[in-house]
Amino acid sequence: MATVESPERQLETCRELCTQRGYEVAGEDTRVKGYNGQSVPMQEVDDLRKSQSLLLSMIKSLRMPEECNGDGKLTRSQVGRIAADARWHG
């Protein structure tokens, strides 16, 4: 089950990913106007969240032997490192 992060943490994560992928961030607002002028979340933010969730579930399913933090679970940075290696080195 995926955990829900605070909006501040989501923004920080988006910034980190943009930096890693070489994207230029034009602003900090992740909401845009919908077809009726209402404020809605950017589609890209939802797509990013879904892809991160899918990537995490795929990494967990690999059950790779990796250094752990004592309780048998990978830390966020370890999971991120595995994901980055998989993305860049196939």
pTM passes above 0.75: no
Question: Residue range 69-85: average pLDDT?
Answer: 77
Read off the pLDDT of residues 16-64 as tens digits, 9 standing for 90 and up.
877 776 665 556 667 778 888 888 877 777 787 888 888 888 877 776 6
Give pLDDT, residue 1. 46
Q: How far is CA 58 from CA 6, 19, 25, 46, 70, in A?
A: 23, 23, 28, 18, 22
72/25: higher pLDDT: 72
Q: How far, in Å, CA of 75 to CA of 37, rounded?
A: 41
Question: Residue range 61-88: average pLDDT?
Answer: 74
